[in-house]
Chain A
Amino acid sequence: MASEVIHTAGAHAEAHEEGHHELPARVDPDVALSELVATTEANGSAVRTWAWILGILSLVGIVSFGVKVGIEWGDQAKWGYTAAIVAFLFSAFGGAPLVAIAPMIAKANWVRPVARFAQLCSLVSIVISIWMIPLILNLPMLIVDGARRRSIWFEGPDVSPHIWAVVALTTLIISSVGLIWAYGMPDFAVMRDHGTGWKQRFGNWAARGWIGSTVQWRTMRMRIGMMGTLYFFTFVFIHFMLSTDFAMSLVPGWRDAIFPMYHAISSIQAGLAVTVIGIWAARKYLGLEKYLHLDQFWSIGRLMFAFTLLWGYFFISAFIVFWYGRSGSDQMWIDFLILGPYFWVFIGAVLLIWFTPWWWLIWNKVRRSYNGTAIGAGLILAGVFLDRVRLYVAAWSVPEERIHERFLTEYPGTVYPDVMDILIMVGAVAASVLLVILATRVLPILSVWDVQQFNLLYRPVDYMKTKVSLIGKPD
């Protein structure tokens, strides 16, 4: 029925009605190849400057880290902000690869240009692992003062939380590097064939002799599937572990079955937001307008909106149960974690994570604009950060000697960040961003093979008197 009129780069499909965005044009394979490979060199000097700035900030973070270890070791309350930033970074960057994995399963074509960036975010697992070390070492043992405390490890060995945290982080690093590598092999081959200097040599090594044979593509798909699944389960487990061992079980009486899920949901929300900001920046600073269309923003924007509402749902699901329960521990949850020392942080979190993005992203107009979606994403990230501060700083501020209480009766006061905390947090964020930027120097920020595949399966065509797109759905 549809005649195949293929628009190459430069030809503009006409938008036939106001409010409908233009059908994106297809990009010639060789143009796509050279332009995407060029992004690994693009803005060399600016990137170098930024890399220096971020590197110095990370270094300052690590130094303050050392200072803090020296003077505040063993004082649990002092490590709340470190816990918060770790939880935030894992929530935001760790959630991003799911943006690549889930739509892939649903065979959504729009996700292809976005997948690489989303996966690269998982490299942050390296930063998280470093920043986690003092937290793991400061975590109370399972047996405190001769009696077992509440934990998800029940009768497990004394150091279960510590060991499992190490195991989980190792798995996270393996699965994130594995996912990026498995997914990136054809692109390493591209770098081997079209890159220069050390990047070419690195590509040559990492491509492991990729020539693009049918067998290689098939095994690659299998590897991605396996790594994606591993990543997903690690992701779920780490949320379970972080939210319980590093928050819930530090507060006596906090028993909240939905909390790990709440943690994971807001993490996916933040992961979507990070992805939006990443591709927004890629469009703006790397000139990738041709490859990143409204389609991507519109699709992620919709998901972001859905997860914003889900945050509200998961929150109220817990809240209403506690509010109705009125038992001592129920009341404690509300008085300590909401109305308590971090009340204003909580209000800020609710406004930024839920209320404002809800009324912002609800508009089609906003989700149909690059900047509008990116602003929504920024709000959400700020909100998730505040939310993690409220939960983790509060949890870490509870002194260890009260861990056996049935529920907390006297609440510790507000803990404010000191200079070291701020530097550690800034350093962690800087190190994370730096890692992702450095990774885009080795692998193109948009996966070349995915963009080619996108173009292969996507055809703007004439359909009788109108223009539509044909999207192939291979097996």
Chain B
Amino acid sequence: MNTRSVARYEGILKVTGDARYEGEIVPDGTLHATLIESPVACGELLSLDTSRTAAFPGFAVMVSHADAASLKPSAATALIREKAIHFHGQPVALVAAGTLAEAREAARAIQVATTTRPAVTDIGQAAGSAYTPAMVGRFPAVTRRGDSSKALSEAELVIRNRYTTGVNNHHPMEPHAVVCWWEGSRAVVHTSTQAIFGTRAIIAHAFDIPATDVRVLARFLGGGFGCKGQLWWPWMFWAMLASRKANRPVRLELSRAQMFTLVGRRQQTEQDLTLGFVAGRLTAIEHDVVAQTSTHAEFSDSTAVYTRLLYACPNVSTRHQLVPTNEPHPIPMRAPGTAPGTFALESAMDEAAELIGIDPLELRMRNFADQDQETGRPWSSNSLLECYRAGAERFGWAHRHARSATKVGRWKIGSGMATTLYPAIRQACRARVSLRVDGSLLVQCGTQDMGSGTYTALGQIAADALGVPMEKVTVELGDTLLPDGPFSGGSQVTASILPAVEVATSKLRATLASIAVADATSPLGGKPPQDLELRDETIRSRTSNAGEPLVDVLARAAPDGLEAEGESPATNHQELAATGMGYGAIFVEIGVDPELGEIRVRRVCGAFAAGRIVNPLLARGQYIGGLVGGIGMALHEETVTDRPTGCIIGKSLTDYLVPVHADMPEFDIIMIEETDPHLPGGVKGIGMLGTAGIQAAIANAVYDAIGKRVRKLPIRIEDCL
């Protein structure tokens, strides 16, 4: 397969508005729904008085916990089956009417009565209730390698600090939406989800119907970043219940304000990190994380997990603890764990370098881990050192001192760097590739494109394997009628679909070759099958000039076209011979106005090594998008709770600041190609890499510019004055 910058498959559809997002599918007779939100952060729903509602024009149906009692109990249905109120703004009912305006008017007329109990709205308020979860994702919450306290007592240099990170919300451009209806006992669900098959499975479970009676569609997504998953399900269930109750299609779309409370967020962390060094080598690390979770469910990012393996160190203790509060529930957000975790670790490494008196880049190279520190396994491939070298050279790291703390206009200049990493993992995947008699190609996989380029990658992998141009490729995804594909999360989709598509296209190549060589009328007749290749819509002999157009072979021997399915397994973490990990080194130059506190990122250079790159154009977009998200986390984004009420403050994109174009500097992206013999297809995920590391790189650059060490995110004007 080639590395090729194919333009976006769905680009024209999107820029012309012809891409139809699932929330735009509105059949005749659709009811429009709105949610009634709890005015208290902790308590119990007593009643919903609908006596005034029936008279409202257009009012059709209300559903609440009472209706959800018919759903099978599970983690996904708990919140909507119970009367308990866990956070301010928690929906207590859904109201559907002929128009959205009518639904809102009717909802306003419903009297909500609740009890109120004292709410915990700050992790500091409930530090005593901190507990250790069993797992953080697929990792243990607590680990201990060697004896860190002994090593710290013997270390030449000990650095001990607390780093804190704020709450962030995902805010994809497209808010969550569902349009659903029932055809008898079968459900059709158009919804913006990162996991159509996961959504299908949970619907089937909740409604106790066969999965085959549920069709979920998500053909276009306007972003996800982790929030279009399980926390959306309860509200989607309510829409489905309303549809069943009213026997009409129901449409529910979240408001921007509800995107702050209902679909997850990056959790707040307080991280105590201690590093011990002897002769510039790490001898001990202790990383304790306290983070917020909600009172109705448990979630912990893998914040300290990467501290276990980024550097060579014999004595490492890590621990995650959670404090439940009456605030919205957290969920993975782009670069989950690595973004807050590397902020602490890579800030601390910078602090250590200064105290040791060496270049922070040199300190990192000196402590490079040449194998997986936790398991002792080799890396499947690891080009981190090359990332350091290439990034430093392009950025001009060696010459940074000439610029540091100098002034350009009102800006004091500073440089900083940090490491980013993310595991390379895969999900099981099935894909179907069909070659039609006209030589066109249909590629089908039940995954979804979050906007990152899955349509293009899927199409181009199949096209390249069969020598068909992209213009003749149709890609179908985002529908559970297609073969089971991976959910869009954890930077896994390209790595998961590629092996499955390659299996399918290999089968087609073999079939085509055997047809061609068996046909005495073909110029390829009698040739050995392994001599044939597919290129430029032609089956060719590698060793002679013989060849025949693909369509001619198909017309003669396969007038109905050819079809093949491929399947590839998920990463089996128990039986790995090598640990797969993608890496990057991020270098930034910033300006700080020390009198006015303003910070501007002036240059970013990211050098990334993530296996084989299918499409450099898309990969560059992913890296830049990731870095912009990282800049937002570092300097702009923070979701704040009003402590007395538990209400999220400033639930709009006016108040929740994300980087605008003027905040985005030039991005210099270096991609270091790796050949990875251990990973099927050789692909590692790239989506997360840009969003971690850059936070610490910016904090380190702030220190370089003005001598202030900021150990909290976001870094604001008041931190630099």
A joins B in a complex = no
A residues sitting closer than 8 Å to B (CB atoms) are none
